[in-house]
Structure 1
Amino acid sequence: MKLPCRIIIMTVLAVAATAMFAAIFSLQQIYREAEIQSRLEMERCIKTFWEFLRQKGTPVRLADGKMYAGDYLINGNYELPDKIQQIFGGTATIFMGDIRVSTNVLKDNGTRAVGTRLVGDAYDAIFKNAKPYRGEATILGKPYFTAYDPIVNPEGKTIGVLYVGVKKDIFLAHYDELRRNVAGAMLAVVTICSILYFLIILSGRRTAAVQKRALDFLQELIDSMPNPVFYKDLDGRYLGCNKAFETYLGISRDALVGKTVYDVAPPEIADQYRVSDNKLFNSPPGTIQQYESRMMDADGAIRDVIFYKSRFSDRYGSEGLVGSILDITEKKHSETRERSRSEILEHIAKGRPLADILDVITMAVEREKQGALCSILLANKEGTRLFHGSAPSLPDEYIKAVNGTRIGKGIGSCGTSAFLLERVLVDDIDTHPYWRNFLPAREAGLRSCWSEPILSSTGKLLGTFAIYHREQRSPGPDEINLIESAAHFASIAIEQTETELALKQSERKYRELVENVNSIILRMDTNGRVTYFNEFAQRFFGYTGDELIGRYVVGTIVPDEDTAGQSLAEMINGICTNPEKYALNENDNIKKGGERVRISWANKASLDEHGTLREILCVGQDITERKRLQEMMVQTEKMMTVGGLAAGTAHELNNPLGAILQNAQNIIRRVSPGLHANEMAAADIGIEFLKVREYMDRRGIIEMIQHIDSSVNKAADIVANLLTFSQKSPSIAEMSTLSEIADKAISLAAADYTLKKKYNFPNIDIARDYAELPKVPANSQEIEQVIFNLMKNAAQAVADNYPDRTPRIVIRTRIQNRYALLEIEDNGSGIKGELIPRIFEPFFTTRGVGNGAGLGLSVAYSLVVNNHNGQISVETAPGEGSCFKVLLPLEREK
């Protein structure tokens, strides 16, 4: 039966309309998909960028006009942007404020765009609206797909921006090429159809032979279309198709005509086709149907396709449909591959276990290639054997068989590939010589194996990636690309894992060394804030790391001034600006509880790659005890020197003092009444003795002589004290109870009162705080003298007390290591720091003339140190009172 001209016209128009609609829709879909992919890619990329940045340290902060992630300097450091570019391609930037400080965005001259500013919609979103920005942006005059996130400090202030992007023209290059190809083809089809339509109208009344030729020409026109085209009647029987459809399904046109979809497709897919056809026939005329489905090709493979269908009808009312097919299998594969790629990179960026990452890689390939069984083997350090890394679908017995495979030529596909460092493709395991002696592969039903070596960025063997099949197979170009890509991602994962492992091991060894060393180790930035504080330092100072990190050293572990009045704040500032000048220094430090200690510090500058001072490493040793012993040695030597002088002086004074005292006493005797010799001597010269006595009394001569006598006695006491101070007498030590000695000394001190001394023991609150102590080897009289002298010294100090304080003295005993500790603490006026080194010197006193000879503390020092091998020291501060500490050995000296 000959088709009328009208049917031909309708068919031509339907084909042209369908082709045009398919082209337009496909381009729109591809463009939208490209935009969606760009957004997804940017999200994945910036998420990975955040992961890398957080791994460097938190929080992100500004200091000295620079940006840091923890201790990691960002300014001028291009490691992270370049790492993002290596993994994702495209560009990445870290802004400090709105200025690029770390970037791989390039200027026109090829240099990095450091110092350029963020402008446009992204700037407004970040700094005006405090929101992230996603979308197109112009960077240095070029359009980019971009993602910007604000960088916020712990106080909630936006201090910078994190950016990733890719040039729009690069990302859409594939789309542009496809758009040109499709548009050209569709333009040709529409042009031809328009010409054909015009010719058919002119020849509408020609003979059947002419119509036959026109119909043949139409078929040739349809055959020239690259996409498969078909047309069916209302009952779903095929009326015809083009050559592309024949090739696609592997069926001739003649064999196709009269068949239904149930004859050419699996039932579950044919059902979907039939439902869609019925829906189209029930739609209004002019409806163009489009939907995504699957189709079995000539090789029996299930392909992903998009159908474009439209209705047509002739003048007799017969209806049918015409449709075209767009194969999107590769597009689907690309999307799947891209999702897998992003998943793999995300796992790598988050530092997931290597085994998990390798499983993601192998399963991604298996999802893309049905029937593929993937394996990753890892090379040992020696490069001699391959061990199991991932094989989610291979039998367990086979995995055990290949675990530990020796690397060498002819040892399977993987052993040979690892040996040759090149791809090895075996399409038939049963016959290939590399597999001749390996029965487990045959037992596992494996027939082909393609192996790719996994190499590091330096060419070092890391392992192998292999694809197995259960039938003889040779790889196509897309499978070669797939295996190369999988090996590349495995290389990134393995190398990254090895790098992180090496870094963690290095950090662990360094941390173990730093944490276990018995030294104070801290780092501080150029503002004097602590950035690191090792465990020993935490135990020593009493602070936890969290309590001190980020705080200034001055005011925490360093006082504003030392005991000599030196400004330590100025010294710390000097260390922060010029650490080489302060490479070694000693200064006072303060523990959390307020105890002052002396630390010897070694300071080392830490510079970044540009030579800029980044922080200062400080290593300290506690020299408090050493300094105390040094001061004690100096004090002892001083005392020995002074003691020698005092001894000589005492001996020299003893003789004239003795003569003065003796003659003074004789003078008093010879002017005393009642002595017969005195009266006889006066009578012999004619003088009345009582008159002489009266004269001397009136002139105060007797009182003068008595004053001479008392002064000489005082001088004699001083000489005796000098001798006590200067001579280490053979003190007789007995086992004594320290608290009993203290009580006796308190009783003696309480009786020592004169108005001239300005203190009164009954008005002083004296507290006893005695611990249970064993008896100590001591000369009780000498220790009693020591306590008495210290009590008198304390009483004089509290006499100068402030009106709002009750005068108080505390006597305390404790055990301290191998010593008995005796403390005498007062709340008096305290001692100035510059006077402390001199308080144990003979004759040194802060009191005026007539208020003591200044020998009390020096005698106490001599009795404790020289006679008892003990120690005596003082803790004091002006206005804070004083605490004298006496340490006496618990055991006799051997």
Structure 2
Amino acid sequence: MMKPVTKYILASSLIAILGITMFGFYSLNRYHDSEATHERERLEISIRTFWQLLAAKGEEYRVVDGKLLAGDYEVNGNFELPDKIQAIFGGVATIFMGDERVSTNVLDAGGKRALGTRLVGAAHDAIFKQGVSYRGTATILGSSYLTAYDPIRNRQGEVVGVLFVGVKEGEYLARLHVMKMHLTLVLSGIVAGSVLLMTLMGLSMRRVEAENENQGRFQQTLLDTIPTPVFFKDANCRYLGCNKAFEAYVGFTREQLAGKTPHDLWPKELADRYQQQDRALLENPGMQAYETVVRYADGTLRDAIFNKATFNGSHGAVGGLVGVVIDITERKKAEVALEFQNLLLSTQQEASLDGLLVVDENARILSFNRRFVEIMGIPPHLAESKDDGPVLEYVTSRMVDPEGFLEKVRYLYLHRQESCRDELVLLDGKTLDRYTVSLIGADGRYYGRLWSFRDITERKVAEEEAKSAYQQLLDIVEFLPDATFVVDREKRVIAWNRAMENMTGLKKEDVMGNGNHIYSIPFYGEPRPILIDLIDEDLDVVSRDYTTIKREGATLSAEARVPAFRNGETRYFWGTATPLFDKSGNRTGGIESIRDITENRRAEHEKSRMEAQLHHARMMESFMVRLGHDLKTPLTPLFALLPLVRQRVADPNLKKMLDICCRNIRSIKELTDKTRMLVKLSYDIKPYELEYIPLYSAANECLAVRAGLLADKNIDFRNEIDPALVVQVVPDQIKELFANLISNAAYYSPENGLVRISAEQCAETVTVSITDNGIGVAPDHLELIFDEFFKVDESRHNLEASGLGLSICKRIVRNHNGRIWAESAGLGQGTSILFTINQRFAGIGNGEKEMVANG
């Protein structure tokens, strides 16, 4: 028959065991709920981060040619954003185009990205039928996930895709399963220990006298089966015994522990701590529990909870204590991991560039980050109070449209399922991008609302500046002298300037906004690629239609021959095309300028022809120099010897014949000298040859040299040049010029004729005139008299006149960058030879001299 005391002890122990078990499972369920809530919060932060990353690529979402675009960012087959979310938060992430996965790190059964698979189930209905976000569990390719889905809308509010993040239920419950296993083991140990203790106590009471020794062995065996370390000490803190688990923990056997105090076994610091705790319990009998770090026999440090209780001896006094050591290392690791996750989430919230505000289902403030306070300029005392009314009142007071702001807030609180994105303008000039989404659990419960505010003031200013810059570009393009047009990235014409209209005959309104190579039709009669379309092509491709190709960086320049341009005439065009980029380096289009170089090509052809003629002339000059040299060699002795021969000849007829020979030799010598003079005058003037001389004096010197010729014909020669007029010239050339012009005037003037030399200055130009009243020049000969060997009166066939005098004058004037010409009223009306020179010499090239000299 069981005694009442024994029944009471067993009943109390059973109740305690049940209580511990129920508390353990209650704690496990609470931990499960906490983990689920934590994962949902983590998913919300993950999908918000996903939105921010996607918005950074572009905030306009649209489907173009079967591709989902975020701004200019192509999502299809681009795994950058899902993989970045996975790297930050773990789990999986997907971007859908419609209900098709186009960017994902969800893997199919073959371990490949599940591209092309479809969204199905409750999430599909919520997004595409109800137009709302979905939060909850979902089966994806055969696996159960805790998920968050948000619709992606275009500017018209149409759903064009879905943003998804999720985590396998098995992954986030893994920690729970570990905790459950450890808790089960601990509870099992406690229950087993309690059962064993109860058993020992029962056996002790029933067999305390008869089977004391057997009972002790049995109890020890039972204790050894308990996986949790258990030990016993007496009232003097000496070890009485322990189980196998405790032996493994401390690294000593029961025999080594028996009768020893902590100071006999452990280092002093550790022994003092153990003995202090034991003394405190023995002096105040009852229960004791504390957490500490212990070093196991294998040297590892472990977190443990010591549960101790005193027991009474046979006389009712405290006989000692029994202790149980529970290893909580894994639980502590789980707690640290959870704390880290919470810290990570709070840090991410504080590190966000957006102002974040979270309210509960009753619109009461739960939390907000520092950025929200900064953007809204909330005073510190309001921020610290987190009082809903004053904070909302203050924020509303900062709005340009406070009524509209409040109306939208009230509407969204009433329509809990709706999300919203719009812009707010503050009184201080800020522009905010506001986005809000409901916080809805997997069971559909409404937990509150998340508000996100982003300061987009700089972006708005940049957009306005971009618009202004674009208009400036259009204005610049419009007034460029070259024909210029601009296209966008779809090759649609967005600028067509006035010069382009004049060149092609196409008006701006006929081409603006049009694509399909409309800009090529005026040149080739059909739509086809031209230079602006070949910027990225290899030069081999460009060379099929263009010549003289140049590429500098991204700019392409080339020449094109258009055989039948507009009126059917062959024209040549020089084109320069380059791409256009935005601030982010994304190509936005291209610009091409076209110049008609047909006349340039003709000028180049003419230049080539003139250069060939010049080369021929140089060859002739070389020939003339050689000829002059070869003629001078035999003429020199003849010129000296014939007069001597004539003196010794008595025959008058023979003397006449020798006179004729002498005159012809002089003519040949003069012709040779003038020819060599022409060649010499073909070279540019050197700076050191120039001098400032009075024109009056130069003319007088030449008159003095020709005094005999003037006297023979009794010619009145008048020098009317201002003696003070000074010019910078080559003196010998100017004197040769005057000598030839004076001789020419005297030669063609009648007996008792009049020759006048005058000069007029206009600014830096001096015009000199030598006028006679001689035989005159026919109008059709005025341009010819400066050509080599041309003679006004061929009928006279005057051998003494070389026909090179005026040609030499032309060369001299050309060398001084001047112009020479003749004026005459006709035959018998006299002639004026005029030339210009600059008062101060300014050198130019031979080609330009030729043009100047010819007028």
TM-score after normalising by structure 1 = 0.34
Of the two structures, which has the highest relative contact order with CA contacts closer than 8 Å and spacing of 6 or more?
1
Bigger Cα Rg: 2
Could you tell me the TM-score, scaled by structure 2's length? 0.36
